[in-house]
Amino acid sequence: MTHPIHDSRYSWLRLLITLAIATVANVGMWAVIVVMPAIETQFGASRAEASMPYTLTMIGFALGNMWLGQLVDRLGVTRALIGAAALTAVGYVLATLAPSMLTLSVTHLMLGLGTAVGFGPLIADISHWFMRRRGIAVALVASGNYLSGAIWPILLSGILAREGWQQVYLTLAVITLVVIIPLSLLLRRQIPAEAHGTAEVAAQLNAQSSGFSPRALQYLLGLAGIGCCVAMSMPQVHIVAYCVGLGYGPAVGAEMLSLMLLGGVVSRVISGLVADRFGGVRTLLAGSALQCAALFLFLPYDGMVSLYFISALFGLAQGGIVPSYALVVREYMPPREAGARVGFVLMMTILGMALGGWMSGWIYDVTGNYQLAFVNGIVWNGLNIAIMLILLKRSRPRRSEVTV
């Protein structure tokens, strides 16, 4: 059963608007990386101190996915976007006025909270407007995060070189307000109640077949999200440092990171198409297995050419994993709680990235190399695979059930 609003011309128009918003809203988590060296120089900070704004940005980003997701459920996506845009703009402005690294770091917690609206909350919202093509719709909106990372650092580098990091942030404050707020007003249309009813019935059938309550399944998916993202973080967070340690230099590592991000965009689109045919659980399982295989390749091969190839392969493997969690939530949980449920699970994936980045660095400090860090990622990846196999074995949702 479908509703005429699903997969309609308006749905695709809404998708384009949402993708444009995501590309702007997500810039906060990338901008802090671009300006980090300038901040370190201005405040005379250590590398660890200069990293704190990024750390607090990611903590705010994680919490914001859950908090703003709940707001989307209660108030609608337009109000959540307007509030988040204002919060983000204030965060940018206050950061330029910060007199110390501590104050600057706190402002980035606010910046991360607002920036989060461009990820989980938008993914949850667009999932209501598609049934047959929900997988590709979710994947495209999730790609806005990677597109933001590929586009904005290049655009901001010129401003940074000419006018300094404060001007970068003031420019982003203006862009955030003048782009996100007008575009958000185009998303005021609400999904019809009867369309929710159709999805609710199918979600109940899938949940009953799995044997898990919505809350238990949410926590199980959260644990799986931590597992896959601890593994995912090892190459993404440490590839530059890994290349420096091997003697290839930071520029080579940055190129490998770019390959991962570009591969991630391609992977998200492909995984969306796959999910429309096979469902979120199978797609997530396949992506996690491919990510695990790519991690294994880092163990025996550390030549420059090999690492370029493996980095591209890793990006193609992992990009579709995180969006697939949103699809699983929509397949098994009540649609009226989509914002909160998707937000919680994606928050756990982000915390997994933060945990994995720290664990890999700690393992390197203890052992003097990254070999055991890759092994640690493989073990955590195995946890994710095991959870997906359990869910698949217990439920095996039919095609008619997974496309709602």
Tokens of 251: 């520029």
Instruction: For the chain, state the CA radius of gyration.
Output: 20
How do residues 284-331 score in pLDDT, each as one tens digit? Answer: 999 999 999 999 999 998 899 999 999 999 989 988 898 889 888 888
Return the CATH architecture of domain 9-185. Up-down Bundle (1.20)
Q: Are the C-beta atoms of 36 and 162 separated by less than 8 Å?
A: no
Q: Are the C-beta atoms of 47 and 361 separated by less than 8 Å?
A: no
Residue 336 DSSP one-character state: G
Nearest in space to 124 (alpha carbons), one of 105, 137, 111: 137
Per-residue pLDDT of the chain (404 residues; tens, 9 = 90+): 566 788 889 999 999 999 999 999 998 888 887 777 788 788 887 756 776 787 788 889 989 988 888 888 888 899 999 999 999 999 999 999 999 888 998 999 999 999 999 988 999 899 888 888 888 998 899 888 888 877 887 788 788 888 888 999 999 999 999 999 999 999 998 877 666 555 555 555 555 555 677 788 889 999 999 999 999 888 887 887 788 888 888 778 878 887 888 888 888 889 888 988 888 889 999 999 999 999 999 999 889 999 999 999 998 998 889 888 988 888 887 777 777 888 888 889 888 887 887 788 888 888 888 899 899 999 999 999 999 998 888 775 444 444 43
Same fold, 9-185 and 194-396: yes
Q: Where are the domains of the chain?
A: 9-185, 194-396
CATH classification for the domain delimited by 194-396, as one of 1.10.150.120, 1.20.58.1610, 3.40.50.300, 1.20.1250.20: 1.20.1250.20
